[in-house]
Amino acid sequence: MEVVLGSVAGWAMAGLAGVIAVGVYYALCMAGAAEQRGKRAVELGGGSLTREQVKSHYRKYAAFFDKPKQIESPGNVPKLVDTFYNLVTDIYEWGWGQSFHFSPAVPGKSHREETRLHEEKVADLLKLKPGQRVLDVGCGVGGPMRAIAAYSQSHITGITINDYQVARARSHNKKAHLDHLCEVVCGNFMTMPFEDNSFDGAYSIEATCHAPVLQDVYAEVFRVLKPGSLYVTYEWVTTPQFRADNAEHVEIIHGIEHGDALPGLRSYKEVGEIAKAAGFQVLQDRDLALPPAQPWWKRLKMGRLSYYRNHLVIALLSFLGIAPQGVVDVHEMLFKTALHLTRGGETGIFSPMHLLVCRKPA
């Protein structure tokens, strides 16, 4: 009997070892292959944070939203955003790609193609020409920068507050053989280290939603643009369908703010007026998410099954000590945020692509 039990236990242990071996092989060799993403599952970390800091910094990040008054203070926001991107950049690259934004679904097109078309639209709206100097306001790891530079042959300078993203963007630029057209600097887009009247155009793609005072960002963009130049921005906003007295609407918007390091979403009415107050002439002010555009949240909804697979991979890597403690919590937060974003799109109360085309007077 003891021999039989010993054999059963041995088989069970062997089976468990086999499952773990398969899981490790999948995580190491298959899940999240770099491709255009640039990250593999085994490379997930905490940006500029050490492995030991990830869990504690996630707790500090979450605590900001337990104390709303901290978020309302403009001085607290840059550190909050920097912490957020240390926590999520690797996961974004692995699970989403190098362009940290949404795009309208296009029938017959892949996500990568939809993304490229949405980015090239910016270049067309700016009427970019080869050799022009253009500013990317909140460039992330530079996915849009590379697409726009390759498409227009203009010189793009990006700015991001997160030094880890600067390193990632420069690495991607070099690998794409676009480092002669693309450069990235670390800085706060509220106080940019550029001279007055020094850019031929500027754009921001779902980035200035992180600004505690939007007019300050617009004023900085206005300052560094040459007279007569254009600024194009895709803004995150609440739409005319949002009702502040609707509890579900409020919960959705708060969920988006919490999971995306936002000091507070602005309404569609505000952004154009803020641009005018900064001195711009507003040439276009419209929501690119409205029909006939196809749902931008389609990939989020379709990707729920992938989330559970990815979450198991991350949990396994964390258990094995390959991924830092705390990455599982960050990934879970991002999944909850995806649910809120999807509901925001389905209800029509939120848009991540309200377009402003602005001109600095000549």
Read off the pLDDT of residues 49-58 as tens digits, 9 standing for 90 and up. Answer: 999 999 999 9
Residue 150 domain flag: yes
In the predicted model, what is the mean pLDDT of residues 283-289? 97
Residue 20 domain flag: no
pLDDT computed for residue 69 by the predictor: 57
Range of the domain at 299: 44-362
Burial (CB < 10 A; 0-12, 13-18, 19+), residue 15, is exposed
Comparing 144 with 41, the larger pLDDT belongs to 144
Number of domains in the chain: 1
Residue 1 domain flag: no
- pTM for the full model? 0.89
Indicate if the pLDDT at residue 287 is higher than 70: yes
Indicate if the pLDDT at residue 19 is higher than 60: no
Comparing 33 with 195, the larger pLDDT belongs to 195
pLDDT computed for residue 31 by the predictor: 45
Local confidence band at 37 (pLDDT 50, 70, 90 cut-offs): low
In the predicted model, what is the mean pLDDT of residues 323-349? 95
pLDDT computed for residue 34 by the predictor: 37
Q: Cβ distance 256 to 340 under 8 Å? A: yes
pLDDT computed for residue 71 by the predictor: 63
pLDDT computed for residue 23 by the predictor: 47
Local confidence band at 156 (pLDDT 50, 70, 90 cut-offs): very high
Residue 54 domain flag: yes
CA atoms within 13 A on the CB side of 90: 22
pLDDT computed for residue 304 by the predictor: 76
Over residues 207-241, the pLDDT tens digits come to 999 999 999 999 999 999 999 999 999 999 999 99
What does the block give as tokens for 100? 């940290």
Measured between alpha carbons, how far is 227 from 302 in angstroms, rounded to an integer? 44
Mean pLDDT of the chain: 89
Local confidence band at 4 (pLDDT 50, 70, 90 cut-offs): very low
pLDDT computed for residue 120 by the predictor: 97
Local confidence band at 41 (pLDDT 50, 70, 90 cut-offs): confident
CATH of the domain at 125: 3.40.50.150
Indicate if the pLDDT at residue 30 is higher than 60: no
Measured between alpha carbons, how far is 279 from 273 in angstroms, rounded to an integer? 10
In the predicted model, what is the mean pLDDT of residues 74-92? 92
pLDDT computed for residue 5 by the predictor: 45
Residue 165 domain flag: yes
